[in-house]
Each structure stands twice: as structure tokens, then as C-alpha cells.
């Protein structure tokens, strides 16, 4: 009797072990991304590329895209792959954790989404197969391999980049504004089902990718109502000369912003958030004033009077980020250094905080670029 019981126990243990092994093969290990915090720092990225016939040795490089949500740009970095297949580069970061895009010259746009930490080293070893598709990725610290390889392709799938037939156009130019916004919301919800059905992506990365995808859609389709109506009219009527009779919109049109929860810190690691902020700052209907040399509290008061009812809140980190982005437009688009008055305004408001450090770091880069232009005889760009 004891032998039978022992035999059953052994069989049950073996079955349990086999099940756990099978489960570990099917479900990837989840490593949390975490909640990002604003921080002026750098991150080092190293790695090794392995490919058949050492293809990577033919002037190979690694392209890295780092979102900078405070200065308001996506910075591109390039690391050369050496003879042994290794690469190394240090990048500026503006949050303690960042999600960067990375691909190599072996097969551009076959991209990985990689988490890096400020002040730390992330090592990425990539192995390619005969077709120069990524066969394996090993990272230190360890990351979810499936998530790294699948996150950006699933965004492209939702965007319809892989669709053989374009999505059919429906007439919206002669419909109500509410119908137009409902159409965008429905379209986004349908596309997000592609993401939601992927059972191997963690809930956390799905939340981040969904935020990224949603604000991209609204930035492209909703922000410029007139442009969208003209585009829709020309696609439906097939007339490139005439324009439809359009309804007028006012600030209340942007009430859809309330659905985005823009105070959520996850937006700091959404790459689409950067251009989304630019659209808010330059929109002709919202008419957000330029910050120029205004003190930040008074600028913030005028901005909140415009946005608070639309976004659904009067206070929070979002407004600080928007103020930083307002300075970022001057630094990135005008390529004009901060004035002494602007630097004082920043110091009075942010003291020695991380946002001030980030903007002053970016300003120093603009000053160095400006000096380089002067040394080659180019004219200094004056601030209007």
C-alpha cells in the first residue's frame, strides 16, 4: 500500500515539474518597467552583434532613439560596431527609466524597445540568422525578450503599416464634429484590440503602448480639424481643388483631452507624447501663449485658464512638463539659447530641480552649437 502511495506521489511531482517547465517555456518572464521620474542623467548602452558571415563588419552601426520628454525632442544616437562586433555609447536621459528604440544597420527598422536606467549600464547582445532577422537577444539586466522584440511591431501593426489594402475611407466632412470624434475613438478602440489580444505582453507594457498609440492618433487626426476635413473630402469626392464647407470649432472641441489622464507619469516614456505636447503648444484654436521671458507662475496661470477644464485638472506635474516643453520649442525649433532673464525665471521657479538641470544642459548644447556656427562665419540667430 505504501509503495502505491509513494508511486502516486512521485508521478504527481513529476507531472507538476513537467507542467512548470512547459509553462516557463510558453510564458515569458515579466520584469516591471516601473513608474518614471524626471531626472537629468546619462545611461550607457553596450553590446555585441553576431551575424552570419560577419555582415556587421561592413561599416555596421547601431541606431538609438531616446525620447526626451522635458526638452521636447527625440534624440538620435549612432554607435559604430567594431571589428569584434561590439559597440558602446553614452546617451542623455531625462527620466530615471527610459524606453528607447534600437536597431542596427544590418536590417533597419527591425527595432527593439529597450529599457535603460539613468546612471547604469545596459548590455544588449543581438544574434542575427541567415535572413538577417533577429534570432536571439540577451540583455543584462535581464529583460522580457518577447516584449523587446514585439512592442514596436505591434504598434506598426495597429498603425496599418503591414496592411496589404488601405483602410476604406468613410465620409466625415459632412458629418457633425461629435460624429468625427466618435469615429476616431472607435477606430482607436478597434485597433487596440490587436494589442489586447497579445497574451504574451504584460499588462504594464500594454498600458504604455495603448497611451502612446491613442495620443498619436488624436495628434494626427483630431488636432487640426480643418486639415482632416479637407483630407477626407478629397479622398471621398476625388476633387483636389474644391474644399468642403466646414464647421467652426472653439476651445471646447478639445474636451477629449480629459479622457487621457495627462498627469499620468507613464507618458514620460511614451515617444508620441513629445509631438503631442508640441501640437498643444502651437495649436491655433487653443492659442497657448509663448513663454518668452514671462515668469513661469504668471504663464502657468494663463495656460491653466485655457486648459484646466479641457484636461480635467488644475494642478499637477503635467503643467511643469508643458512649461519645460515651451522652453524646449525655443531651444529645439528656433535653436536659440535661453536669455539671462529666462534662466532666472527657471531658477526662481524650479530652483535646482531636475527640470531646470535638463533645460540648462540642453541650453549649453545650443550655446556650443551657436559658438561652432560663429567660428565658421555663420550669423548668430537672434531671438525674436
| Residue 25 pLDDT | 41
Angle, helix 177-196 to helix 203-221, in steps of 10 degrees:
150
Q: Is the pTM of this model over 0.75?
A: yes
Q: Kindly list the distances between the CA atom of residue 120 and the CA atoms of 38, 65, 97, 117, 319, in Å, as whole numbers in the listed order.
A: 16, 17, 10, 6, 29
- Which residue would you say has higher pLDDT here, 242 or 17? 242
Whether residues 124 and 211 fall in one domain: no
**Which of the listed residues 85, 117, 143 is the one where a domain comes to its end?**
143
- Contact criterion met (CB below 8 Å) for 272 and 214: no
Tens digits of per-residue pLDDT, 93-131? 999 999 999 999 998 888 999 999 999 999 999 999 998
Name the 3-class secondary structure at 66.
Answer: strand
Query: In this structure, are 230 and 290 located in the same domain?
Result: no
pLDDT tens for 77-94 read 999 999 999 999 999 999
Percent of the chain residues past pLDDT 90, beyond the cut = 78
Assess whether 284 and 339 both reside in one domain: yes
Number of domains observed in the structure of the chain: 3
Q: Is 7 exposed, middle or buried (0-12, 13-18, 19+ CB in 10 A)?
A: exposed
Which pLDDT score, from 0 to 100, does residue 380 have?
Answer: 52
Mean pLDDT over 233-255 rounds to 91
Pair (48, 112) in one structural domain = yes
Q: Are residues 179 and 286 in the same domain?
A: no
Q: Count CB neighbours of 152 within 10 A.
A: 20
* 154 located within any domain: yes
Q: Which domain holds residue 367?
A: 259-384
Mean confidence (pLDDT) of the chain: 90
Q: Contact, 103 vs 60, CB < 8 A?
A: no
Task: Give the model's pLDDT for residue 353.
Answer: 97
Is residue 31 one of the residues assigned to a domain?
no
Same domain, 380 and 270: yes
The reported pLDDT for the residue numbered 1 is 47
pLDDT tens for 256-293 read 999 999 999 999 999 999 999 999 999 999 999 999 99
Residue whose C-alpha cell reads 544574434 in the numeric block:
127
- Domain contains 80: yes
Residue at 10 is within a domain? no
Other beta carbons less than 10 A from residue 168's beta carbon: 6
CA distances from 68 to 242, 270, 371 (A): 41, 10, 23
Q: What is the pLDDT of residue 84?
A: 92
Distances (CA, A) of 111 to 212, 218, 226: 16, 24, 34
- Residue 44: its H or E element: strand 38-50
Q: Given this model, what pLDDT does residue 377 score? A: 65
Shared domain check, 119 and 52: yes
What is the reported pLDDT for 209? 98
Structure confidence by residue, pLDDT tens digits, 148-197: 999 999 999 999 887 777 778 899 999 999 999 999 999 999 999 999 99
Q: State whether 166 and 236 are in the same domain.
A: yes
Look at residues 75, 97, 118, 72 and name the one whose alpha carbon lies nearest to residue 355: 72
pLDDT per position as a tens digit, 18-66? 333 333 444 455 578 999 999 999 999 999 999 887 766 778 999 999 9
Asked if residue 4 has pLDDT above 50, the reply is no
Amino acid at each position: 500500500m505504501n509503495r502505491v502511495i509513494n508511486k502516486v506521489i512521485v508521478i504527481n511531482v513529476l507531472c507538476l515539474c513537467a507542467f512548470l517547465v512547459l509553462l516557463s517555456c510558453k510564458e515569458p518572464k515579466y520584469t516591471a518597467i516601473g513608474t518614471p521620474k524626471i531626472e537629468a542623467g546619462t545611461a550607457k548602452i553596450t553590446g555585441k552583434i553576431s551575424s552570419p558571415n560577419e555582415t556587421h563588419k561592413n561599416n555596421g552601426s547601431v541606431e538609438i532613439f531616446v525620447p526626451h520628454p522635458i526638452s521636447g525632442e527625440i534624440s538620435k544616437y549612432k554607435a559604430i560596431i567594431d571589428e569584434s562586433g561590439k559597440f558602446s555609447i553614452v546617451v542623455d536621459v531625462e527620466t530615471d527609466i527610459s524606453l528607447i528604440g534600437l536597431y542596427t544597420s544590418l536590417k533597419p527598422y527591425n527595432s527593439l524597445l529597450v529599457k535603460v536606467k539613468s546612471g547604469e549600464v545596459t548590455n544588449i547582445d543581438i544574434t542575427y540568422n541567415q535572413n538577417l532577422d533577429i534570432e536571439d537577444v540577451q540583455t543584462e539586466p535581464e529583460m522580457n525578450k518577447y516584449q523587446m522584440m514585439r512592442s514596436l511591431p505591434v504598434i506598426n501593426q495597429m498603425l496599418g503599416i503591414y496592411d496589404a489594402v488601405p483602410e476604406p475611407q468613410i465620409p466625415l466632412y459632412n458629418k457633425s464634429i461629435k460624429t468625427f470624434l466618435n469615429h476616431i475613438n472607435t477606430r482607436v478602440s478597434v485597433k487596440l484590440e490587436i494589442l489586447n489580444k497579445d497574451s504574451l505582453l504584460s499588462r504594464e507594457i500594454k498600458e504604455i503602448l495603448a497611451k502612446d498609440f491613442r495620443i498619436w492618433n488624436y495628434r494626427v487626426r483630431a488636432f487640426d480639424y480643418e486639415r482632416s476635413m479637407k483630407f477626407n473630402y478629397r479622398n471621398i469626392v476625388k476633387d483636389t481643388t474644391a474644399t468642403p464647407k466646414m464647421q467652426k470649432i472653439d476651445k471646447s472641441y478639445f474636451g477629449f483631452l480629459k479622457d487621457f489622464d495627462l498627469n499620468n507619469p507613464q507618458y514620460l516614456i511614451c515617444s508620441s507624447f513629445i509631438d503631442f505636447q508640441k501640437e498643444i503648444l502651437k495649436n491655433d484654436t487653443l492659442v497657448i501663449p509663448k513663454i518668452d521671458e514671462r515668469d513661469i507662475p504668471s504663464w502657468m496661470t494663463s495656460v491653466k485658464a485655457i486648459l484646466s477644464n479641457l484636461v480635467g485638472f488644475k494642478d499637477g506635474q503635467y503643467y511643469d512638463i508643458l512649461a519645460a516643453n515651451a522652453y524646449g520649442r525655443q531651444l529645439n525649433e528656433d535653436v536659440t539659447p535661453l536669455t539671462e532673464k529666462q534662466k532666472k525665471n527657471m531658477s526662481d521657479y524650479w530652483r535646482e530641480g531636475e527640470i531646470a538641470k535638463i533645460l540648462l544642459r540642453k541650453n549649453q548644447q545650443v550655446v556650443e552649437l551657436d559658438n561652432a556656427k560663429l567660428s565658421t562665419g555663420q550669423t548668430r540667430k537672434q531671438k525674436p
